[in-house]
Structure 1
Amino acid sequence: MCGRYTLMVDQTTLEDRFDARVSNASGEPESITPRYNMAPGQQLPVVMDDAPDTIQHLEWGLVPSWADDDSGGLINARAESIAEKPSFREAYERRRCLVPADGFYEWVETESGKQPYRVSFEDDRVFAMAGLWERWEPATTQTGLDAFGGGVDDATDTGPLETFTIVTTEPNDLVSELHHRMAVILEPENEREWLTADDPQALLEPYPADELRAYPVSKAVNDPSTDDPSVVEPLES
């Protein structure tokens, strides 16, 4: 799985990499700062298929449009089943996204507990993970006279919620030493195809191991509130 990742670059570098500008759904400019410990439930930057020239913030943890409530967001989607699984099928057909990152964390069981590792390119360059996004809208409830068609809907909802999930696949030889799944890393030349193709299943393969590195980092990364450069530093051997 992919349950934590990094995006340490500044905003200009990120915008240049994806030829897109950071803004909200209304097109108003927003800002981002380097992140070292991005976690589920947070608002994080993605490039959506319906606005490829914009980097927008969505909540990590996909909530299907048909869900009864917005709890229990799904942070990962298995590549092998996204075309059939009800939680992801419609998003795979119509709502794909790129999830910018420059590394992700995996945990290995050891005698002293779980040891976190960071996986990245040797030069820490930015890449895109394959993602799906969804829009969930709360059901409108009626109370009092509304139940008889005579009043106004009870406006207790907070509007639509836009969320995303990261697609995972079988691990390459490097990541298999850490975990039995890994995030789908897209080749730069395949990123637009992921957003636009009718069926881009062929892109959901493990990224070659020889271009990546994995190294142990501090267990401080286990706490999502710890988000500073120290958590990406290699542990001294």
Structure 2
Amino acid sequence: MKTLSFYFDPISPYAALAFERLPEALAGCSYEVEYRPVLFAAILHALGQKGPAEIESKRHWTYRQVAWLAHQQGQVLDLPAQHPFNPLPLLRTAWACASGPSGTPNRLVVEKIFHHVWRAAGADANDAARLEALRQDLAPAQAPESEPVKQRLRDATEQAIQRGVFGVPTFEVDGRLFWGQDALPMLAAYLKGDPWFASGAWEAAAGARPGVARRH
């Protein structure tokens, strides 16, 4: 059985869609999932990039594409009242629900957090009353705003950056990173032992040298 790390931020509609599709996409594979909440904005900052919703034309396309993907997959995906929003309260809540000092939040916790954002008929993800109700429902073992929980989120985000994560969702298995919901078929092929991955093609595909470097 393979251990799969799922790096996500509830701010990402692609992560929400991938979360819902994961069991179906990996049907027949032998795996377990460690859900790792990370702060996407910190990853973008470390890489000197903007998020999709921070570029106006890309923002419009992102919302249209995720609406289409949800329609195509038969999933509910309601845009929250404001997007992007500050995901820190939700990320900290997720880590506060982790099982023990070295554990990660389970699938039910992650599901409820994603649904709080993306299946709430356009409600505000950071509405104080809704956040309190979510935390009451999840009953985290630790205080979400405690320093140990905040540090776990910082550490998880920094570890993700160090491992090469540049976006969410990212799936890591055996040190290989699979980025985005559209990588799920590729990930399934790897878990099922597709010989392409042992042929050297994975390594060779990343071997091209950049010919032009853009100046900032």
Q: Is this a same-fold pair by TM over 0.5?
A: no
Please state which structure has a larger fraction of its residues in helix.
Answer: 2
Sort the TM-score into its range (normalised by shorter chain): under 0.3
More strand by share: 1
Give the structure, 1 or 2, with the largest relative contact order (CA under 8 Å, sep 6 or more). Answer: 2
TM norm structure 2: 0.26
TM-score for both structures, normalised by structure 1 = 0.24
